[in-house]
Structure 1
């Protein structure tokens, strides 16, 4: 929450995360109409220690 001390206004913020398995990612994206869904370990497609450990998901929407 952010509280404006001058006015007393309260702004609420929220965030949530959902973890998916690789197969769940593929299934969700395929059901949404994506094709050729690929899960990569980095932006260059192979493990790269100079990049974060975030997953890269690539798909094509016809």
Structure 2
């Protein structure tokens, strides 16, 4: 529900700023594609990098 309200707000804001409905829709689609990229591709890679870093710290503890 929040994402729908956010999309409607961004659409309203872009129309108020003078963008046409077509350009505003294209911008919303682009925002959605970026969100999908970040949530499904980039976040798992960041988790793997963080786990490797934590593992390296734990195994290289020289105390």
| TM-score range normalised by the length of the shorter chain | 0.3 to 0.5
Structure 2 length-normalised TM: 0.34
User: Hey, which of these two has a bigger chunk of helix by percent?
Assistant: 2
Give the greater-gyration-radius structure (CA): 2
Structure with the larger strand share: 1
What is the TM-score normalised by the length of structure 1? 0.35
